[in-house]
Structure 1
Amino acid sequence: MTASGSTRWGLILAVWGAGLGAAAQYGKISVIFGRMGELYPQAGTALSFSVSLVGTLGILLGAVAGLYVAAFGYRRTLVWALWTGAAVSVLQALHLPFGLFLASRVAEGLSHLGIVVAGPVLIAQLSSDRRRGLAMTLWSTFFAVAFTLLAWIGLPLARAWGLQALFGAHAAVMAGLALLLGFALRDVPVPQRAPLPRLRELPGLHLPVYRSPWISAPAAGWLFYTCCFVAVLTVIPPYIAEDMRAFVLGAMPLASIAVSMTLGVYLLRLLPAVRLAQLGFLACAAAALWLWAMPGAPAACIAMAGGMGLVQGGSFAAVPQLNESAAARAQSSGAIAQMGNLGNTIGTPLMVLALAGGGFGGMMAVLLVLFLSGAGVHGLLSARRRAMA
């Protein structure tokens, strides 16, 4: 798709922009969640579904979504997923009844899944062998960058013009990206389409994905990462001194991005991507011990976010390193989407339960186990790859 010595950075940045739009499908509700009761005052605790329902289709279909994307076409999937996301955001801006709003979030999950499966495959193939690690590390930052932009731009927009203005702005961004990429990608050669899987084959199609220590490895580690990332940003803030809280919460995503794009990119020249992810998990474990000893310490929080940046870059860079074909990369990206949605769904409730049952120490113990498990599962799958080689 690209010559060995060329990397199409303009297109890569445009596809990364689509990733920001996909992350905003989660983030646009997360950043205004405390005010969602203004739109739906009778919803009560059911409002929590407005965040989690986006991940429903990802949990159910993520691992096999790569097969459908390979059959439908990577360019076509990305562009139509953007158009779908734009249309759903337009509907949400019209203040739907709560039941229909929740249904729209499920539909938005289909758009999200299409982008996060097709996007990294296209980026990997638009980059040269030499620059692929950097390109995939850039892609890995899309969640952290999107949440930062929503905090800086989305929240002031919602305060000034209302919550529905944020949905309208998201629709405009998604439509603009669909137009741009629909034009920019039309002459880009892509891999030949794969056969379309049959619905009755879906249960069995998961088995080859998760039996393969090459295809499943990035997703296996990603499950433990996503159990921690959003949960940490949700449950740690009350333990940070109030005068430092806003600074630390803003600095954590930025530290994750900065570390992944600097130290992470440098280390990818020296280490395999899986080893970088393991190093990141171990750094997070060390930061968890630090935070356990000094609850709310700003430097410990930022250090943990930096370790997570290494996990991000290593996990996505591992997809093309471990999988040669576009179809296998799509399956691996789909498995990441599945495990990522599962981790995002169970992570915060797990931390809240640990906090309720064991206090701050119990929560930190769970975090420590999750980080060490992320490093450990990569070790086990590396051993399996060596045994099967």
Structure 2
Amino acid sequence: MRDRKSVGHRCAAASPWKYALATWFAGVLAAVGLGAVSPAGSALRASLGLSDGELAWATSSITAVSAALGIPAGWWVRRFGAQRALPWGLYVMALAAAGGATAGSWGLLLASRIAEGIGYLLVFVAGPVVLTRLTQGGVRSAALALWGTCVPTGLAIAAVTGGALASWRTWNQWLALTALGPLIMAGVLTAVLPPLPRMAARRTHREAGAWNGAVRLGGAYGTLSLVGVGVVMALPPFLTEHQQATPALAGTLVAVVCLGSAAGGLVASWLLRRGFALSSLVPLGVVMPLACLPAFSVALPMAVNTVAATLVLAVNGLLISAVFAAVPASVSRPEHVDVANGILNQLGSMGILLGPPVFGTVVAAAGWSAAAAATLAFGGVGTVLLLVTARTSASGSAAGASPLPGAPGVAGMEEGSESRGNAADAGTPDRRRP
């Protein structure tokens, strides 16, 4: 009898992971849509007669939607419900991507990408909320850190798959293919996600400082995203102009560098699942500017440049995953998580939009070595904001870390019932093994 209870206990503890992985995969498919235009850029330019500026807008319009509407989307998801908003965001992305596949002009393509950006925003606001309400404690921290790998993973899949299909499929067929994944995943989530606990809406606008933690995390996400995107966008011209790399080779190396971000996020998820304190990960941010120096050094071989840039993105991805893991404990009430994720997406998208022009301006003014200075400045701001939020959450009452009634597997989720503060940051790392 005891053995049967133990097996049941382990199944209950593990059950949230199947929902967490399904939600993560939805985020990855949404990120594939984000990066869908770049692999087809040459074909689109030739077919629709696009200028470089028009192609850039078609590429970045999804992010622009998030930069403009992130916070309103958080309020809307709170009213509509994250469980419904997540699959509906995927449905919108699928429909918009299918429309983009039939576009015959830049205006229609841009309109479809803006519509796709609305669906993308719903996915990336609702996804972390679903994870927060289906998990608790160390599982929650690990699942949210894993969510931080969605974008680099999806972008890498888009780059590799789109590049491979470019030689024997048209850009219309490629964009139509990117509509298929979100459509299927939306149906899967509608069928398998369990009911989420309802959060009572309170008059949160009267609470002084209710959003301070979320704004700090949003600032951290924005500055860290600026660094990551800036390094990725600056690397190809550096490799082609100063290391004599072909465009094809530079593209391959950049894809490898992007995967470093996903690897860093996976490391963060693993460490947080093992009970490491969130604040113990933050000092690794010092590695970014140090690694950025050899990444853009003309005197070093191209292999060293690539390894160093991968290290920059790995630490960047680790810290971004830590940002997502810190969200539940950064708010004063569990029902604030929806809007907090809206703040995160809006400020993070601003950082993504600003990254390429900021790094381009700095390099043009002071040379490639100045990329390390930009990384130090913006990365330093991000790590400080993350560290302050992590320590504040650990010392206070982390309402977002408390169990939510009705979540599957809450009973026995974590043996030993972790304390509230430990979900976001533990003053003493708990390295117990299951």
Q: Measure how far apart 1:386 and its partner are.
A: 8.9
Q: Measure how far apart 1:211 and its partner are.
A: 6.5
Whether 2:231 is the aligned partner of 1:223: answer no
Alignment partner, residue 200 of structure 1? none
CA contact (8 A) 2:146 2:269 kept: no
Q: Residue 221 of structure 1 aligns to which amino acid in structure 2?
A: A
Question: Partners in 1 of 2:46 and 2:141 — Cα distance?
Answer: 44
Question: Partners in 2 of 1:305 and 1:336 — Cα distance?
Answer: 19
What CA deviation, in whole Å up to 9, does each residue of 1:272-328 have, x standing for no partner? 33552x324222122124435566522211211221122122111111233364422
Q: Measure how far apart 1:155 and its partner are.
A: 1.8
**Alpha carbons of structure 1 residues 48 and 251: separation in structure 2 relative to 1, 3 Å:** closer
Alignment partner, residue 167 of structure 2? 159
SS for the counterpart of 1:131 is helix
Aligned to 1:322, which of 323, 327, 330?
Answer: 330
SS for the counterpart of 2:49 is coil
Structure 2 unaligned spans of 5+? 1-10, 398-434
Q: Measure how far apart 1:210 and its partner are.
A: 8.0
What fraction of aligned residue pairs are identical, expressed as a percent?
Answer: 23
**Alpha carbons of structure 1 residues 166 and 124: separation in structure 2 relative to 1, 3 Å:** same
Question: Partners in 1 of 2:357 and 2:135 — Cα distance?
Answer: 38
Alignment partner, residue 196 of structure 2? 189
Q: Residue 123 of structure 1 aligns to which amino acid in structure 2?
A: L
CA contact (8 A) 2:220 2:385 kept: yes
Counterparts in 2 of 1:270-281, with a 5 A limit?
271-276=276-281, 278-281=282-285
CA contact (8 A) 1:215 1:319 kept: yes
**Alpha carbons of structure 1 residues 381 and 74: separation in structure 2 relative to 1, 3 Å:** closer
Alignment partner, residue 98 of structure 2? 90
**Alpha carbons of structure 1 residues 380 and 323: separation in structure 2 relative to 1, 3 Å:** closer
Question: Partners in 2 of 1:209 and 1:157 — Cα distance?
Answer: 53
Could you state the TM-score of these two structures normalised by the residue count of structure 1? 0.86
Q: Residue 301 of structure 1 aligns to which amino acid in structure 2?
A: A
Counterparts in 2 of 1:123-142, with a 5 A limit?
123-142=131-150
Q: Measure how far apart 1:139 and its partner are.
A: 0.9
- Between Structure 1 and Structure 2, which shows a larger proportion of helix residues? 1
SS for the counterpart of 1:95 is coil
Question: Partners in 2 of 1:315 and 1:328 — Cα distance?
Answer: 16
Whether 2:183 is the aligned partner of 1:179: answer no
Whether 2:292 is the aligned partner of 1:285: answer no
Question: Partners in 2 of 1:129 and 1:387 — Cα distance?
Answer: 16
SS for the counterpart of 2:138 is coil
Q: Residue 238 of structure 1 aligns to which amino acid in structure 2?
A: P
Q: Measure how far apart 1:378 and its partner are.
A: 3.2
Q: Residue 62 of structure 1 aligns to which amino acid in structure 2?
A: G
SS for the counterpart of 1:28 is coil
Q: Measure how far apart 1:246 and its partner are.
A: 5.2
Whether 2:369 is the aligned partner of 1:365: answer no
Question: Partners in 2 of 1:211 and 1:327 — Cα distance?
Answer: 11
**Alpha carbons of structure 1 residues 45 and 208: separation in structure 2 relative to 1, 3 Å:** farther
Q: Measure how far apart 1:230 and its partner are.
A: 2.0
Alignment partner, residue 253 of structure 1? 258
Question: Partners in 2 of 1:386 and 1:121 — Cα distance?
Answer: 20
SS for the counterpart of 1:236 is helix
Alignment partner, residue 127 of structure 2? 119
- Name the larger-Rg structure: 2
Counterparts in 2 of 1:18-33, with a 5 A limit?
18-33=26-41
Alignment partner, residue 157 of structure 2? 149
Which deviates more, 108-117 or 239-248?
Answer: 239-248
Q: Residue 212 of structure 2 aligns to which amino acid in structure 1?
A: P
CA contact (8 A) 1:209 1:215 kept: no
Q: Residue 367 of structure 1 aligns to which amino acid in structure 2?
A: T
CA contact (8 A) 2:236 2:254 kept: yes
Q: Residue 283 of structure 1 aligns to which amino acid in structure 2?
A: V
Could you state the TM-score of these two structures normalised by the residue count of structure 2? 0.78
What is the number of equivalent residue pairs in this alignment? 377
Aligned to 2:357, which of 349, 366, 369?
Answer: 349
SS for the counterpart of 1:130 is helix
Question: Partners in 2 of 1:94 and 1:78 — Cα distance?
Answer: 25
Alignment partner, residue 238 of structure 2? 239
Q: Measure how far apart 1:214 and its partner are.
A: 2.2
**Alpha carbons of structure 1 residues 99 and 122: separation in structure 2 relative to 1, 3 Å:** same
